[in-house]
Structure 1
Amino acid sequence: MKVIANSRIHHLVLAAALSIGLAFGTHASAEEYLIDLKTGTATYLGNRFVSAFNGAGQLVGAYSADADQSHAFITGPNGVGMTDLGTLGGNSQATDINAAGQVVGYSFTADRQTRAFITGPNGVGMKDLGTLGGDDSLANGINASGQVVGWSRIGGSYNSQLHAFITGPNGVGMTDLGTLGLAGDRSEAVDINDAGQVVGNSYDAGRVPHAFITGPNGVGMADLGTLGGYSSEASGINAAGQVVGYSLAPVQSDAFRTHAFITGSDGVGMTDLGSLGEGASYAFSINDAGQVVGYSYTATSPSDAHAFITGPNGVDMTDLNSLVDLPAGVVLATAGNITNMGQVLTFSSGISVVPEPESYALMLAGLALLGAMVRRKQKGASWRRRKLPFPALPASGKPGCVLHRETG
């Protein structure tokens, strides 16, 4: 779960990190910062990819175990120390953690299948969650009771359908959540709250990607609709069932643009959050007060992405850079998560804290391996994909995502 004390940065930030680093060349790097909105300070998170943290300050993500291997990790409270979580036979990545320290993510197996995993409390032991009948699965989120959500192939063929799943407490059992239509052969669950309400994305009967929400414990799948365009994608959910994501909105009669959205409780209604300028915007996380974070293109620099935050219930989008004391040259390009404690995980496009060349090369090598894992599993999947503007992010912020989105 990614709200309250348990905050998960979407896996989209992995791709953002890679694209930012490449875009700025050898003298700059994508840097991950933890923002404290109460103090207006930014803490550099070092040469590792942090994807989530819980209320105790345990961080999880991936690091370069060596030149050829990226491994999932967990830290102790307040980010102290780092423990390698191991793998199921190949590279691994942690995607989320709950208050008990149960970690979920995915790993290659020895025969190069991708499998969702869960650990026990404090990251002890890595257990393969299995699949819905196919070769591959991936875990995206976990709630307080240990219910896990993600996607799995439902047949043995590499090109078989992908379906969203939910497990029981502590990762026991795996239930197929289905899709939004008989012709919609693919779906993915991206987040879950403590009531077991699941959000994700699915093709509908017309093979158009739409965001969905379920009832408690994953029961029932309801289409969240769009902002007036033909597609939408969900990114996160809070305790009240407010959902955030992005959708194509009719900006003009003959043009469409992607805008961030928020819904009411239990996914009712969809409100356009606008943007920081006249370009696209994307929402990735929401806390229990309804504060939303993501990124938007700005009016002064329509080609540049800036992280944003809103007030409660999605009101008043503000450039996050204006609220934080940042090192010279640093621009927060995307915000992936926000907690009820006012902490935000972000990536910058600045040049202030550049790792040593050897360390940075290892970090990029490890992240590139994870990116390769994603690309391998997407190859031949026939998802409609568009070339994206900076940051070049996976469609739903998750590896193996099932949908596409328009550029702004």
Structure 2
Amino acid sequence: MPTAAKIKQPLLAAALLGALAAPLLAQAEVRYSVQVITDMGANMGNTALAANGDIAGAAASDTVPYYQNSIFFYTAATRHVATFSASGWHLSSGEMNDNGVLVGTMRNQAGTTRGFVYDHGAVNYLADGTTANDINNAGVIAGSAGNKAATFANGTATLLSNSSGSAGAINNSGTVAGSIGDNGFVSQNGSINIISAGAVNHPMPFALSSDGALAGADRIDDGNGEPSAWMKVNGQLTYIPGLHKFSGGYALNEALGINALHQVVGYGLTADYTSHGFLYENGQTFDLNSLVDPSLKLEIFSAGGIDDRGQIVATACESLFSYSCSVIKLTPLSAVPEPETYALFMAGLGAVGLAARRRRQRAVVSTLA
């Protein structure tokens, strides 16, 4: 397991040396306007944000069986939300390209997986036994075929390795990142480079920027699989301080998105094990809840992506223990705000319930991805 020294926490000011064991978080200020995209229920899956402002994700309410959830798709140009589902299939959304084309994976109760492509209302499917996790502007898909990392072009799979694994991200230059066994990898021009190997930390990349920067989380071999978020820029691996420093140095956070400015978003647990979305930039970690108007009374539980303009897609609720969440978009106040910026009025998800669901969702994604 990582030691407290390994998680590179910011230095505490002398006046704060006696303050608990939590890392010093960056000074907060209201930096984002909030736009409600859609209220889709409790079990929010991965959310994706395209360069054109389109947003998508997977969701199901607690009253809907696990294998009957839906994918929602928000079109920024028309401000319209569409959904689709497939009877008997659980849908997991992947990522979108700059044209708003979404990929994802469906799984039935027999355990069969099938990648899909959702192109503004038209749905196409890959073969059984495939997953689809990301797509670039050229239409090349990163995913898996037969539990092996693969890319897909025009429906044809190209295996990246003969070992078990999955390709989780691809950018417009064709760089691919993912996992092979217990290790992360980056593939350029067909050449596989392992990010790290060893019995303790297994860095798994979950996001890839347009300039090749990576973000993800360690899988710590302590029997609990507690994560520590990291980013890798120009070959330099940097661990991201958590919202709270747990015993043993655990950060208990995961990085889910990174942009060309090398801003990273994801989620991390607080001292009371409530999940909060975070933003990491310039060596500092921010709780996203501290960067929006406090009068909105938001509970931002996780941030799924950030674009090169700094816009963030996130999941938020208003109160605990009522098991319903919604998708929001955060726009930097220095940019032109969306005209539909207003308070979020929704029910929330409790810390224990959300943490359990997030772990379940990550397990599903790990299996599919």
The 5 Å alignment of 1:4-403 reads 40-48=32-40, 49=44, 51-62=47-58, 69-78=68-77, 80-85=79-84, 87=86, 90-108=89-107, 113-120=112-119, 122-124=120-122, 126-130=123-127, 135-153=128-146, 162-168=147-153, 171-178=154-161, 185-203=163-181, 209-216=182-189, 219-225=190-196, 229-247=200-218, 258-265=227-234, 268-279=235-246, 280=251, 281-298=253-270, 301=271, 303-312=273-282, 315-327=283-295, 329-348=297-316, 350-351=318-319, 390=355, 392-394=357-359, 397=362, 399-402=364-367
Query: What residue ranges of structure 2 are gaps of 5+ in the alignment?
Result: 1-28, 327-351
Deviation at 1:67, TM superposition (A): 5.4
The Cα offsets for residues 17-74 of structure 1, whole Å up to 9 and x where unpaired, read as xxxxxxxxxxxxxxxxxxxx99522233332257223233333234669956434343
Q: Which has the higher strand share?
A: 2
Q: Do the aligned partners of residues 225 and 242 (structure 1) sit closer, same or farther apart at CA in structure 2, a change above 3 Å counting? A: same
Percent identity (aligned):
21
What letter matches 1:45 in structure 2?
I
Deviation at 1:138, TM superposition (A): 1.6
Query: What residue ranges of structure 1 are gaps of 5+ in the alignment?
Result: 1-36, 154-161, 180-184, 204-208, 364-386, 404-408
Q: Which has the higher helix share?
A: 1
Deviation at 1:286, TM superposition (A): 0.5
The Cα offsets for residues 298-341 of structure 1, whole Å up to 9 and x where unpaired, read as 4xx253333221125xx212222221114555332222211112
What letter matches 1:275 in structure 2?
G
- RMSD over aligned Cα, in angstroms? 4.0
2:329 equivalent in structure 1: none
Provide the C-alpha distance between the structure 2 equivalents of 1:271 and 1:41, rounded to a whole number of angstroms: 29
Q: Do the aligned partners of residues 57 and 272 (structure 1) sit closer, same or farther apart at CA in structure 2, a change above 3 Å counting? A: closer
Q: Is the 8 A contact 2:51 2:307 kept in 1?
A: no
Q: Do the aligned partners of residues 88 and 213 (structure 1) sit closer, same or farther apart at CA in structure 2, a change above 3 Å counting? A: farther
TM-score (norm 1): 0.62
Q: Do the aligned partners of residues 310 and 175 (structure 1) sit closer, same or farther apart at CA in structure 2, a change above 3 Å counting? A: same
Q: Is the 8 A contact 2:256 2:264 kept in 1?
A: yes
Q: Is the 8 A contact 1:139 1:148 kept in 2?
A: yes
Deviation at 1:343, TM superposition (A): 1.5
Q: Is the 8 A contact 2:206 2:255 kept in 1?
A: yes
Q: Do the aligned partners of residues 39 and 316 (structure 1) sit closer, same or farther apart at CA in structure 2, a change above 3 Å counting? A: closer
**1:401 is paired with a residue of what secondary structure?**
helix
1:182 equivalent in structure 2: none
Alignment coverage as a number of residue pairs? 303
TM-score (norm 2): 0.68
